[in-house]
């Protein structure tokens, strides 16, 4: 990886260049004096540019984060693990290639940024059966030794050792892990008076101060500060992505460490960075405290996490999909495919239904639906509001338990010529006439690269199951539904499309 920070460079070879801070401002004609910031002050911090009306209140505000850090830092730990290099199941061996020469496509989002890499400290190839070590961060959440870190820090670890801020080391055991949220709970036995911190009960606001503490590059006990840059970030990690974005610098080794608000409560668990260079560029991602609290409670109780399962494949409702369905707003999650035998299928939920709320709470999009259902216990009863074939509908069902893996595949055979439908830029043939395509729908045998369907990602071999909410079996059915949609004043038509990976809905505008 290019531009990699090497924590093993001797101190005598490191060159530290002081950064210049420039304070730019405009002095009004009223003759306001510009005062130099005191050594303890923070540029644009709580004591900068104070209005006269706020002077009395701000006079008691500490100029830095020293009091906060002294309060929380003892609860933060460095986590060091050993992993057998021959453990093929280890996520670390699969993903932590920090010594490689070229970036992999996923390296911009460096989730596993705690490990030294496949080589030794000098980059030489490992010998067989050699144990490799990795370093991350964590924090105590109880006086009796329970601590939180990332799943990717302790995944398949042969041993776990934690080091406190005063240098004291302890052996820890893994209580439970949750790969879906990348959280893990570990435990140090033998003491009942560990310093600990609590999760915040409040969602941080964008712009709030945040302080991160951790073990970057194995240095230990490092404190950085910044602000909350954004919330609700989806970085493509999974269906439960809901990251807090912060600009407090975090680097390799900060994985699993806490991010604090100004009261000393944990607002998030440092988990990922966006890093073209391998080091901090000011874009880090935290698992929210609200998620961590729910997961940690289950890990402590049962050693694993169980989640509610609805049994549907869903996608967001775009403006075009909303228009084609007659919805007023582009909100909710449209059902691509209810899985056979799932709670949704048993309750009568069908492909094309839009789930608009769960237990009376509006659903923003498909990710919001996935997160909401995942927080509910298997077996719990939920009420879903649907938009079903142009009408509102409510169903009540009992959730199942989320299986480990859910896959939906469809086999699509070779092409055969068919009649064209110029409105969409497609040539179609009945699925029954195409070997391996099944008996339902029509197969796309040719796509006009300049047509509206191609621009929406429809490809040769895709199977169109229904058009405008109606099942289609031949080209005549497609033309009829297109004409109906257009005569109803719609600017686009909703297609249910199946390919080898999944079934999805695509809103295609009329040419």
What CATH number corresponds to the domain at position 322?
2.30.42.10
Residue 137 and residue 146: Cα distance in Å, rounded? 14
Tokens of 331: 């909100």
Residue 255 a catalytic site member: yes
Last residue in a domain, options 351, 370, 401: 401
Residue 392 and residue 376: Cα distance in Å, rounded? 24
- Same domain for 235 and 120: yes
What are the 10-residue block averages of pLDDT along the chain, 511 residues in total? 37 33 30 38 46 54 83 96 65 33 40 39 45 86 97 92 95 94 95 96 95 92 95 78 92 94 96 81 92 95 91 89 90 89 92 94 90 91 93 93 48 32 72 75 81 84 88 84 81 86 85 64
* Polymer length of the chain: 511
- Same domain for 312 and 301: no
Burial of 259-274, coded b for 16+ CB within 10 Å and e otherwise, reads bbbeebbbbbbbbbbb
- Same domain for 239 and 149: yes
- Same domain for 315 and 301: no
- Same domain for 318 and 298: no
In a domain, 426, yes or no: yes
- Same domain for 167 and 78: yes
Total of domains in the chain: 3
- Same domain for 230 and 96: yes
Are 437 and 427 in contact by the 8 Å Cβ rule? The answer is no
Q: Active site residue: 78, 107, 110, 152, which one?
A: 152
CB count, 10 Å around CB of 471?
Answer: 13
In a domain, 370, yes or no: yes
In a domain, 439, yes or no: yes
Nearest to 483 by CA among 506, 472, 322: 472
In a domain, 194, yes or no: yes
Are 230 and 243 in contact by the 8 Å Cβ rule? The answer is no
In a domain, 19, yes or no: no
In a domain, 493, yes or no: yes
Tokens of 475: 């080209």
Residues spanned by the domain of 85: 1-11+65-305
Are 395 and 349 in contact by the 8 Å Cβ rule? The answer is yes
- Same domain for 315 and 297: no
Residue 462 a catalytic site member: no
Query: Residue 193: what pLDDT?
Result: 95
Q: Active site residue: 78, 200, 255, 492, which one?
A: 255
Query: Residue 130: what pLDDT?
Result: 59
Query: Residue 502: what pLDDT?
Result: 84
Residue 190 and residue 11: Cα distance in Å, rounded? 37
Q: Active site residue: 107, 178, 182, 385, which one?
A: 182
The H-or-E segment that residue 225 falls in is strand 222-233
Last residue in a domain, options 240, 275, 305: 305
Query: Residue 55: what pLDDT?
Result: 52
Burial of 92-117, coded b for 16+ CB within 10 Å and e otherwise, reads bbebbbbeeeebeeebebbbbbbbbb
Query: Residue 54: what pLDDT?
Result: 55
- Same domain for 268 and 338: no
- Same domain for 373 and 343: yes
- Residue 256 CB contacts under 8 Å (≥ 6 apart), including other chains: 79, 114, 136, 137, 138, 139, 148, 149, 150, 153, 184, 214, 269, 270, 271
Query: Residue 270: what pLDDT?
Result: 95
Query: Residue 160 forms beta bridges with which residues?
Result: 81, 172
Residue 182 a catalytic site member: yes
What CATH number corresponds to the domain at position 91?
2.40.10.120
- Same domain for 445 and 296: no
In a domain, 412, yes or no: no
With vertex at residue 95, the alpha carbon angle to CA 245 and CA 291, rounded to the nearest 5 degrees, is: 35
Instruction: State residue 362 phi and psi, 5-degree precision.
Output: -60, 140
In a domain, 26, yes or no: no
The H-or-E segment that residue 140 falls in is strand 131-140
- Same domain for 425 and 340: no
Query: Residue 109 forms beta bridges with which residues?
Result: 274
């Amino acid at each position: 990886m290019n531009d990699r920070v090497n924590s093993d460079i001797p101190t005598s070879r490191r060159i530290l260049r002081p950064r210049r801070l420039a304070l730019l401002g405009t002095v009004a004609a009223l003759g306001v004096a510009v005062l130099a910031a005191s050594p303890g002050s923070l540029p644009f911090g709580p004591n900068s540019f104070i209005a006269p009306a706020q002077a009395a209140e701000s006079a008691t505000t500490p100029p830095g984060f020293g009091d906060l850090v002294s309060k929380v830092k003892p609860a933060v730990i460095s986590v060091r693990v050993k992993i057998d290099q021959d453990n093929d199941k280890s996520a670390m061996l699969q993903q932590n290639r920090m010594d490689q020469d070229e970036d992999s496509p996923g390296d911009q989002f460096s989730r596993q940024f705690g490990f030294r890499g496949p080589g030794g400290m000098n980059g030489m190839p490992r010998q067989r059966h050699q144990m490799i070590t990795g370093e991350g961060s964590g924090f105590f959440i109880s006086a009796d030794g329970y601590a939180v870190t990332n799943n990717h820090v302790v995944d398949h670890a042969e041993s776990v050792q934690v080091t406190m801020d005063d240098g004291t080391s302890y052996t820890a055991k893994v209580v439970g892990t949750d790969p879906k949220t990348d959280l893990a709970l570990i435990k140090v036995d033998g003491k009942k008076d560990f310093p600990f911190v609590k999760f915040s009960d409040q969602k941080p606001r964008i712009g709030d101060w945040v302080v991160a503490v951790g073990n970057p590059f194995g240095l230990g006990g490092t404190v950085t500060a910044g602000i909350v840059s954004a919330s609700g970030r989806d970085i493509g990690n999974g269906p439960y992505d809901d990251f807090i974005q912060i600009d407090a610098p975090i680097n390799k080794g900060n994985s699993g460490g806490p991010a604090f608000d100004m009261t000393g409560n944990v607002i998030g668990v440092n988990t990922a960075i966006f890093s073209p260079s391998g080091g901090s560029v000011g874009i880090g991602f935290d698992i929210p405290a609200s998620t961590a609290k729910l997961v940690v409670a289950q890990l402590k109780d049962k050693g694993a996490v169980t989640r509610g399962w609805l049994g549907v494949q869903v996608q967001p409702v775009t403006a075009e999909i909303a228009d084609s369905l007659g919805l007023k707003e582009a909100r909710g999650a449209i059902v691509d495919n209810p899985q056979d035998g799932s709670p949704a299928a048993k309750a009568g939920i069908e492909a094309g239904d839009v789930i608009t709320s769960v237990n009376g709470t509006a659903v923003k999009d498909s990710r919001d639906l996935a997160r909401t259902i995942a927080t509910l216990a298997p077996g719990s009863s939920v009420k879903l509001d649907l938009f079903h074939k142009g009408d509102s509908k409510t169903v009540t069902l009992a959730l199942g338990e989320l299986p480990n893996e859910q896959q939906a595949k469809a086999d699509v055979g070779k092409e055969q010529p068919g009649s064209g439908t110029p409105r969409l830029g497609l040539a179609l043939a009945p699925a029954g006439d195409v070997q391996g395509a099944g008996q339902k729908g029509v197969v796309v045998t040719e796509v006009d690269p300049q047509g509206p369907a191609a621009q929406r990602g429809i490809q040769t071999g895709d199977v169109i199951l229904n058009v405008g909410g109606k099942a289609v079996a031949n080209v005549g059915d497609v033309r009829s539904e297109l004409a109906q949609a257009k005569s109803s004043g719609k600017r686009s038509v909703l297609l249910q499309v199946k390919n080898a990976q999944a079934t999805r809905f695509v809103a295609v505008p009329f040419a």
